[in-house]
């Protein structure tokens, strides 16, 4: 029959309690968790006004969604306890800073990192150390300068990821990379201007030295000329003695 006996209801309650208890111990407090054969354990913490990255995410989680929260920074080792993490979504936050080692520990497992739609301005290669995954870096107010250009060769991320760095500002301003994907503007060299400035500085310093040496030489010659002339006058004023007049003639040839 289809009737529900009190005994059935009781076991149902026990089952529910067990389920909730189980969920509470194996999932982060503030997030929603699910598990499936194909995608493994997934933790969803989207749109919860979180300001700190939860530290109670189960260590066998494969996907974490932390999008649409209020994170401003990702501290070092924030995900170090999640060795099986495949996908990490940090998009649509207020992240302006990634500390060095922010994604440490994810190097071998992570395949997709989404930090699009944040407030990232400067690219810090130390934050991505060891990470070879694909990354969505779009929709951030990137500042393109010589530092960024020098950082590019030290990034292990999947290379096409870097096309997501679209310059919103640049140094120098007039170079015209604004609105361009930095990697797709290969003839723009943002370090040239800096090199030029150092060249000019070198030139100025060398010119300074040169001027000093020349001034000293001129002074030295002048001073000695005076001395020699005075010496000569003195000799001339002496009553003429044979040896002395010879000396005076040699001095006048020297001067
Ligand atoms: C995951 O955590 C459990 C218990 O919290 C522990 O027994 C297990 O060793 C951890 N696994 C890894 C890979 O750290
Ligand atoms: C990257 O993120 C943006 C905005 O968050 C999204 O529109 C875009 O489809 C993403 N790109 C990829 C390749 O996933």
* Rounded distance from Cα 55 to ligand 1 centre (Å): 14
Cα gap 43→28, rounded to integer Å: 8
Cα gap 20→79, rounded to integer Å: 26
Select the more confidently predicted residue: 219 or 26.
219
Closest C-alpha residue for ligand 2 atom 13 = 136
- Of ligand 2's atoms, which has the minimum distance to the CA of residue 139? 4
Per-residue pLDDT at 133: 96
Domain boundaries, the chain: 23-188, 191-247
φ and ψ at residue 65, rounded to 5 degrees: -110, 110
- With pLDDT > 90 as the criterion, what percentage of the chain qualifies? 53
Q: What is the pTM of this model?
A: 0.70
Per-residue pLDDT at 94: 97
Is any atom of ligand 1 closer than 6 Å to the C-beta of 83? Answer: yes
Spatial neighbors of 74 by CB under 8 A, at least 6 apart, are 53, 90, 95, 97, 98, 99, 102, 103, 127
Cα gap 17→1, rounded to integer Å: 26
* Cβ–Cβ under 8 Å, residues 135 and 159: no
Closest C-alpha residue for ligand 2 atom 12 = 136
* Cβ–Cβ under 8 Å, residues 71 and 51: yes
Closest C-alpha residue for ligand 2 atom 14 = 136
- Of ligand 2's atoms, which has the minimum distance to the CA of residue 92? 5
Cα gap 23→33, rounded to integer Å: 8
- Of ligand 1's atoms, which has the minimum distance to the CA of residue 59? 1
- Is 242's pLDDT higher than 70? no
Name the average pLDDT for the chain: 84
Per-residue pLDDT at 73: 97
Residue found by looking up tokens 């020098």 in the block:
150
Give the pLDDT confidence of 18-58 residue by residue, as tens digits: 444 444 446 888 899 999 988 899 999 999 999 999 999 99
Q: How many residues does the chain have?
A: 255
* Rounded distance from Cα 80 to ligand 2 centre (Å): 25
Per-residue pLDDT at 182: 87
Is any atom of ligand 2 closer than 6 Å to the C-beta of 117? Answer: yes
Write the DSSP assignment of 18-59 as a string of letters.
HHHHHHHHHS-TTSEEEEETTTEEEEE-TTS---S--S---T
Per-residue pLDDT at 23: 45
Cα gap 45→92, rounded to integer Å: 13
* Rounded distance from Cα 112 to ligand 1 centre (Å): 23
Cα gap 96→71, rounded to integer Å: 9
Residue 199: which pLDDT band, with cuts at 50, 70 and 90?
A: confident
Which helix (H) or strand (E) element contains residue 137?
A: none
The CATH number, out of the four listed (3.40.50.280, 3.40.190.10, 3.80.10.10, 3.20.20.70), of the domain defined by the range 23-188 = 3.80.10.10
* Rounded distance from Cα 59 to ligand 1 centre (Å): 6
- Of ligand 1's atoms, which has the minimum distance to the CA of residue 84? 13
Residue 183: which pLDDT band, with cuts at 50, 70 and 90?
A: confident
Give the pLDDT confidence of 58-93 residue by residue, as tens digits: 999 999 999 999 999 999 999 999 999 999 999 999
Spatial neighbors of 230 by CB under 8 A, at least 6 apart, are none
Is any atom of ligand 2 closer than 6 Å to the C-beta of 91? Answer: yes
Is any atom of ligand 2 closer than 6 Å to the C-beta of 138? Answer: yes
Cα gap 147→167, rounded to integer Å: 13
How large is the average pLDDT for residues 119-136? 95
Cα gap 242→255, rounded to integer Å: 21
- Is 158's pLDDT higher than 80? yes
């Amino acid at each position: 029959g289809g009737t529900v006996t009190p005994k059935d209801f009781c076991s149902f309650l026990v089952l529910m309690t067990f389920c909730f208890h189980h969920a509470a111990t194996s999932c982060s407090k503030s997030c929603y968790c699910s598990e499936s054969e194909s995608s493994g354990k997934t933790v969803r913490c989207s749109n919860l006004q979180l300001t700190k990255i939860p530290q109670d995410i189960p260590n066998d989680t494969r996907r974490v969604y932390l999008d649409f929260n209020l994170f401003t920074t990702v501290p070092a080792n924030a995900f170090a306890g999640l060795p099986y993490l495949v996908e990490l979504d940090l998009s649509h936050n207020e992240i302006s800073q990634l500390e060095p080692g922010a994604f440490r520990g994810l190097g071998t497992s992570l395949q997709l990192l989404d930090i699009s739609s944040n407030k990232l301005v400067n690219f810090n290669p130390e934050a991505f150390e060891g990470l070879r995954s694909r990354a969505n870096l779009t929709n951030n107010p990137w500042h393109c300068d010589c530092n960024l250009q020098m950082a590019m060769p030290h990034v292990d991320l999947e290379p096409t990821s870097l096309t997501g760095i679209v310059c919103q500002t640049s140094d120098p301003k007039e170079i015209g990379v604004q609105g361009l994907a930095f990697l797709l503007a290969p003839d723009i060299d943002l370090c040239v201007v800096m090199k030029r400035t150092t060249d000019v500085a070198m030139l100025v310093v060398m010119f300074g030295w040169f001027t000093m040496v020349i001034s000293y030489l001129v002074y030295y010659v002048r001073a000695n000329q005076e001395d020699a002339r005075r010496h000569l006058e003195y000799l001339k004023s002496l009553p003429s003695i044979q040896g002395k007049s010879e000396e005076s003639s040699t001095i006048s040839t020297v001067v």
